[in-house]
Amino acid sequence: MRVKKSIGLLFAATLVCLLAAYTVLTKPEINIDGDVSDWDAAGLVPAYVDEVGDTMAWSKDPSIVGVGSTAEPEHMVEANDKCRDLKAVYFYADENYIYIRLDVVQLYPEWCIVSRKCIGDQCGTYPNVSAYHLYFHVPDSKISPQSGAAAAAEMSFGTYAWHFNIQFDAGCTNVGDYGSPWLQWPDWSGVSVSGDIGSFAIDLQRSAFEMRISRAFLEDKLGTKLGKVYVFIASAKPGEPTGAWGTWPHVFEPQKPGDPGEAFGACDWADYIPNDAFDCSAAALTGKPIEVYLGVAPPEQPPAEERPAEVFPAWIVAAAVVVVVVALAAIVLLRRRKAAKK
């Protein structure tokens, strides 16, 4: 019995070691499938964790967000405020893509449903609960950056002027049939994050968004390899388009509730990260955004002749650990068998 038990233990220990070695040696694989548990399983940790409940006072106030054509019913204000409340952001990068995961406090199934508004014979749709914006400053980019958040916006990005941004509200007419994010360049041109450019999915259960964007596409346009970048992220309540369709983003104007939305600035963001980077009253980025490394991991190796000899490559270390554990277990097992015979 004892011998059988020991063999079982030995087998289990070997399996655990092999699994550990496998985990060390393989890169995470993130699928854009509307299930962000793969990020957790891969051990990826947030680049920034934001407070819960730190949205602007207007976002929780039915007497402000309950007014005008973009009004929220009073009983929905609390739920909508949670959609606007940023919670955490994650980044990951491999040879082919950059990956982004954004968690908010609590999405609900119909948060993305669009409203319809017509001006004359021009009709447009817009979801009015929350929109999300991510601004990337790429230090080595060859393209000229943009300092305003949008055309005619009041906000300034200062020394962290952005080289591309990603915006989405996932407007939908059926739950699960989400719209793609919009990737915008400093000259205001843009492209949908879909097809060859990338993909996007929503995990309603875990209240999170996940997306990936083609590295080649970004690096080609930016004129540089991606490495260290700076990111500012914010959420906003969309406003009502005022006839000039296509001049998004229009956002809700909390200082003038009931007015149509307009280009944003000041304290029009509902929530933002990092918290110490943005001065709401000055409508300016005054601190350092989140610093993220989006280079290919591990960093590119120098050519072979310049490279110092690898003394202990990771696979040798992992294999050595397996051998030592198996050997120790075998010694213990043999000793027990000897003791049992005596």
Minimal distance, residue 291 CB to Ca ion, in Å: 17
Nearer to Ca ion, 47 or 329 (CB): 47
Rounded CA-CA distance 80/83 in Å is 5
- Report if residue 169 touches Ca ion, rule: CB under 5 A: no
Minimal distance, residue 236 CB to Ca ion, in Å: 13
Residues 3-62 that bind Ca ion (CB under 5 A): 31, 33, 35, 38, 50, 54
- Report if residue 86 touches Ca ion, rule: CB under 5 A: yes
Rounded CA-CA distance 326/11 in Å is 9
Minimal distance, residue 37 CB to Ca ion, in Å: 7
- Phi and psi based region of residue 223 (left: phi greater than 0; alpha: psi -120 to 50; beta: remaining): left
Rounded CA-CA distance 126/248 in Å is 10
Minimal distance, residue 59 CB to Ca ion, in Å: 10
Nearer to Ca ion, 88 or 333 (CB): 88
Nearer to Ca ion, 131 or 222 (CB): 131
Minimal distance, residue 46 CB to Ca ion, in Å: 12
Residue 145 near residue 161 (C-beta atoms within 8 A) = yes
Q: Which of 123, 122, 104, 125 is nearest to 114 (CA)?
A: 125
One-letter amino acid for residue 212 of the chain: R
Q: In angstroms, what CA-CA distances link 13 with 17, 203, 320, 324, 328?
A: 6, 36, 14, 11, 10
Q: Which stretch binds Ca ion (CB under 5 A): 106-114, 179-187, 269-277, 311-319?
A: 269-277
Residues at the contact surface with Ca ion, assessed by CB under 5 A: 31, 33, 35, 38, 50, 54, 85-86, 271, 273, 275
